[in-house]
Structure 1
Amino acid sequence: MIPAEKKRWFETMFAAYNRWLIGRSFAGLHVRGLERWTGASGPVVLIANHSNWWDGLLLFQVNQLLLRRDFYVMMEEKGLRAYPFFRKLGAYSIRRDSTADIRASLRYTADRLQSPNALVCLFPQGRIRHQEVRPLDFAPGVALALRDAPPDAKICLATLNYSFLEDQRPEAFLALSEPMSVRDLLAADPDSAKNLTARLERHLTVQLDSQRAALLCGDATGYRNVLRGKLSTGDWYRRVFQRA
């Protein structure tokens, strides 16, 4: 298991680069549900779908811009070995073909959640799968991680959806659920990791499908554009020729 090796200076430097990279690649980054975080205290586990290479980078940037928590993200060991600099941003590894390594990663997750300002991002699908694929197929490790988390920790479901709308480049949409306590979540299934995993997968699927249905109808109500993209070729054309 490869631990994170966070460097504050590197986070600050990378956030500036990542902001430029997102602005160059997307027309906008839109977030819904930020008001639900107002006054939220205690560590948070962010459970998200994983349909794109961008997922972790967008969550990192939203945290840098708005949430400002101590950010960590669990990452497949193969990917972290390929991009070791992610350790400086809070990435740590899991190797799913090793029981001992899985246990070490879950213990590491629980240790990070001892900090009241921690934000730990988990992708229970375990690998990138297209955003339209169902079922999401959660791995059981997410339930085991929550069972070791402090009872006062909060869980938030995060759904990421990527769409081409009226712009030359795609738009990224992030929806955040109401945070719920680990204590309340575990009370319904105190002994069954399988049931808890299935329930989390069901809730995230409902949120993801609802988000998708609204965006297909052009309904982006409640989203805040937190990062606007750079002007595209189409934007410059409209500015120059329509103004003329």
Structure 2
Amino acid sequence: MSFIPANESRFFIWFFDRYTRWALKRRFKQLWIKQEYEPGPTDRTVYFLNHNLWWDGLIPLYLNRELFQQNARAIMEDKQMQQYTFFSKIGAFSINLENPRAAVTSLRYALKSMDREQASLFIYPEGTITPPSEKRPDFKPGLAWLYQQTKEVDFVPIAIYSQNLRSSKSELHISIGKKVNHDKLMSKSKLTGLLEEDIHQLLLQTRKTAGFEDEGFSHQF
């Protein structure tokens, strides 16, 4: 499949912002957010997230419009982009995970995207939806490559967790962690392991309180 670039449309972003808010409220009983990172007016940020829900494709739009208000884009598997072509209109671009050479094209495009003012990028480093697990996630190497190639860009983990402890209708908890600080000179494999652990620990912390005390979370709806 050929590379699909982002092709933002103000109308599509406006429309899907409203659709996303409606859809999340319809699907989830409550939405809770814990935020330890807030970008400044000149900050550029790469957000990396676990990938366990179909809804993950819409969550970045909600977070950016509601909290971050940056010039956001997202990486999306090319098979999904072919099926849901409108995602390019809200800032997504494709990556072919089965072809390493094609994947490099997408990563270079991502790197160039971070040159924009107030740029941000949402990436699901697992590459595909995986079943929820207490094990450490398994990331593709692209996130570590981006981390090594960027300068003055914050990398921030975001944990997404859905639970049914209080109701038959799921509640959604989103934990936005602190920016990470790893040595860019270490090997790509070691760096990937540290980034995996960043998400893993954030997810474990989220599961400890989500649906029980909700400590540190603010109620969105």
Specify if TM > 0.5.
yes
Q: Once the two structures are superposed, what CA deviation does each residue of 1:19-74 show, in whole Å capped at 9, x if it has no partner? A: 1111111112211015x316364210001100011113122112112211112111
Specify the SS of the correspondent of 1:37: coil
Moved over 3 A (4+): 38-41
Question: Quick one: distance in 2 between partners of 1:197 and 1:64?
Answer: 29
Matching residue of 1:23 = 25
State whether residues 189 and 195 of structure 1, in contact with CA within 8 Å, keep that contact through their aligned partners in structure 2.
no
Q: Which residue of 2 aligns with 1:44?
A: 45
| Aligned counterpart, 1:102 | 103
Gaps in structure 2 of 5+ consecutive residues: none
- Structure 2 Cα separation of the partners of residues 205 and 116 of structure 1: 30
Q: Which residue of 1 aligns with 2:73?
A: 72
Displacement of 1:135 in angstroms is: 3.2
TM-score, with structure 1 as normaliser:
0.84
The reply on whether 1:164 has 2:158 as its aligned counterpart is: no
Of Structure 1 and Structure 2, which has the larger fraction of its residues in helix?
1
Look up the SS of the partner of 1:173 in the other structure. strand
Instruction: Return the alpha-carbon distance in structure 1 between the equivalents of residues 145 and 124 of structure 2.
Output: 14
1:93-132 equivalent positions in 2, closer than 5 A: 93-132=94-133
Query: Identity percentage over the alignment?
Result: 26
Question: In 2, are the aligned partners of 1:48 and 1:157 still within 8 Å (CA)?
Answer: yes
**3-state DSSP of counterpart to 2:72:** strand
- Point out where structure 1 has 5 or more consecutive residues left out of the alignment: 229-244
Indicate the residue corresponding to 1:63 in structure 2: 64
CA distance in 2, matches of 1:38, 1:96: 30
Indicate how the Cα distance of structure 1 residues 98 and 57 shifts in structure 2: closer, same or farther if over 3 A, else same.
Answer: same
Structure of greater Rg: 1
Q: Aligned runs of 1:130-149 on 2, under 5 Å?
A: 130-132=131-133, 134-149=135-150
Aligned to 2:86: 85
1:206 corresponding residue in structure 2: 201
Secondary structure in 2 aligned to 1:54?
helix
Q: Which amino acid aligns with 1:172?
A: L
Partner of 1:236: none
Contact 1:156–1:177 (CA<8 Å) still a contact in 2?
yes
Secondary structure of 1:71's aligned partner: strand
Please give the alpha-carbon distance, in whole angstroms, between the structure 2 residues aligned to 1:45 and 1:73.
9
1:51 aligns to what SS in structure 2? coil
Matched residue SS, 1:125: coil
Question: Matches of residues 155-194 of structure 1 in structure 2 within 5 Å?
Answer: 155-180=155-180, 184-185=181-182, 188-194=183-189
Task: Figure out how many residues of one structure are paired with residues of the other and give that number.
Answer: 219
Aligned residues of 1:37 and 1:179 also touching (Cα < 8 A): no
